[in-house]
A and B are shown apart, each in its own frame.
Chain A
Amino acid sequence: MVHEDYKEMIPARALSALDAVEMRALNEHLEECSECRMELQEWKATAAALAVTANPAEPSPEVRERILNEVRKDLETPQVVPFRSATRNIWTSFGSLGAMAAVILVTALIVGLVVLWRQKREAQVQLATLSGQLETTQKELQRSNEFYQLVTSPGARLKELEGMGQAAGATGKVAYDRNGHAMLIAHGLPKVSAGKEYQLWFIMSGKPPMPGKSFAPDNTGVATAIDEMPDVPLDAVAFAITLEPAGGVPAPTGPMYLRTAQ
């Protein structure tokens, strides 16, 4: 598809009415096309106008209370314990002014410490989140690079896999070159339990499925596997992913989760 084809799909995307395959294709294009991203924003504004044709309705007052209660819980901060009031009147003696100044100073110090402590804690949380994101992004980048190199190598082929049964929303792609060097990237596969892994299969009609590598998705639900294909005609081969005992098996025994799109 070319840019203009994608552009035509944008109004339907703004209504989230594209079918899954088109949606995925357009989403990939949007990642690299800022013009289409901007256009999508404009169409979303038009689509949002449809909302006002719904009859206005008043939610019960409890909803507001529930929201604000949740928000207050979120805002809860460490409490500063108040000082007990002095037993004598501190205004009556000059010396007590010093005591009052000390009280103010100590209170300010405590408040300052609490603020600093909170800022430090927030910074630590942010740092941990960002480090995690950076690591994930680096992994994704590396995977994308490998995949890109394979797809752009001479004589390379790319096949789409579609989710089945329990993994209807899962998707996958297998790229392979003319030497049979293949790479799989799959999204949306369910997590595997201990002792289980997914396994890639190469399928030629009229022959039993040929086993490929076994693998498990990472924390973000993305799975990759690099494999060398058996000696099969590259245009006629299909792929499937099944759930098997960890380490893989010579012939499939478990349910199929992905297969070459029809």
Chain B
Amino acid sequence: MALLKAVAAKDEASLAQLYDFYRVILFGLLMRILNNRAEAEDVLQEVFLQVWRKAGDFDENRGRPFTWLVTLTRSRGIDRLRTLSARERVAEAGAKEATEAISDAASDAFRSEQRGLVTDALAQLPDEQKRPLMLAYFDGLTQSEIATRLGAPLGTVKTRMRTGLMKLRELLAGKGESFGF
């Protein structure tokens, strides 16, 4: 992607452009993970400064810029989540559910085609396959932690997670171009 190459060549305007293009989706992801505006903004800043320093590491043969940016952001977000104290997380758990319910209704206006594709695909997954995926992705839980959380045997969680992600991949297959950002 030309924009990332320009960022790697230390072009400030290209970084600003990249930020303007991805900020809403990446900040949404961080808010979902951290549920705390100040923390999410701090991590978003870290992410883009890392992009500034490491854009040269991006290898277009190994994936799309979207995947690279989202993977980096999610990983930084989960790292931050783990450093927050358990007390804070428990206190915010209730608030998180409520926020999601409200903003789901309010966010219809923002719903992009891509978002629709993925949510439609996820809707076709049985809950027992979807929950392990969401707990791993947004809460950073490992398979053992998910098994404990859901009260399911570890082997079952492993199978459901694998099956769920495989199914998601099949459902999104062929929609890659429109999904390419």
Residues of A within 8 A of B (CB): 8, 11-12, 14-20, 41-60, 62-64, 66-68, 70-72, 74-75
Contact at B161–A17, with CB atoms within 8 Å?
yes
B27 near A59 (CB under 8 angstroms)? Answer: yes
Complex-state Cα separation, A198 to B29, whole angstroms: 42
Smallest CB separation, A62 vs chain B (Å): 8
Number of A-B contacts (CB under 8 A): 151
Q: Complex: how many Å from CA A74 to CA B18?
A: 18
CB within 8 Å of A: which B23-40 residues: 23-29, 31-32, 40
The residue that B44 contacts in the complex, of A11, A56, A59, with Cβ under 8 A, is A59
Contact between A49 and B141 (Cβ–Cβ < 8 Å)?
no
Which chain B residues lie closer than 8 Å to A58 at the CB level? 23-24, 27
Give the shortest distance, in Å, between B128 (CB) and chain A (any CB): 16
Knowing that A17-B136, A57-B31, A67-B48 touch, tell me 4 more A-B residue pairs with CB under 8 angstroms.
Answer: A48-B71, A50-B118, A55-B103, A55-B104
From A17, A51, A55, A74, give the contact of B141 (CB < 8 A): A17
Query: In the complex, what residue of chain A is closest to B113 when comparing beta carbons?
Result: A52
Cα-based distance from A70 to B137 in the complex (angstroms): 30
Q: How far is the CA of A221 from the CA of B109 in the complex (A)?
A: 50
Residues of A within 8 A of B138 (CB): 50, 54
Q: Which residues of B contact A41 (CB under 8 A)?
A: 62-63, 67
15 interchain pairs, CB-CB under 8 A: A15-B165, A17-B146, A48-B66, A50-B138, A51-B25, A54-B29, A55-B28, A55-B100, A56-B115, A59-B27, A59-B41, A64-B20, A67-B19, A70-B45, A75-B10
Q: For residue B155, give the distance in angstroms from its CB to the closest CB of chain A.
A: 12
Whether A11 lies near B166 (C-beta < 8 A) is yes
Q: Which residues of B contact A59 (CB under 8 A)?
A: 23, 27, 40-41, 44
Q: How large is the interface on B (under 10, 10 to 19, 20 to 34, 35 or more residues)?
A: 35 or more
In the complex, are the beta carbons of B70 and A48 less than 8 A apart?
A: yes
**Given known contacts A43-B169, A50-B137, is B28 in contact with A57 (CB within 8 Å)?**
yes
Out of A11, A64, A66, A75, name the residue touching B161 (CB < 8 Å). A11
Contact of A46 with B169 in the complex, beta carbons under 8 Å: yes
Residues in A neighbouring B41, C-beta threshold 8 A = 59-60, 62-63
The reply to whether A52 and B25 contact each other, CB–CB distance below 8 Å, is yes
Give A19 to B103 CA distance when docked, in angstroms.
33
A42 partner residues in chain B, CB cutoff 8 A:
169
Structural contact, B115 and A52, CB atoms closer than 8 A: yes
A residues near B28, Cβ cutoff 8 Å: 54-57
CB pair A52 B118 closer than 8 Å: yes
**Nearest residue in B to A52 (C-beta to C-beta)?**
B115
A47 to B78, CA, bound (A): 14
Question: Which residues of chain B come closer than 8 Å to A14, judged between CB atoms?
Answer: 165
Give A72 to B132 CA distance when docked, in angstroms. Answer: 42
| A19-B165 in contact (CB<8A) | no
Chain A residues contacting B161 (CB-CB under 8 Å) are 11-12, 15, 17
Is there an interface contact between B23 and A71, defined as CB atoms closer than 8 Å? Answer: no
A8 to B165, alpha carbons, bound, how many Å?
12
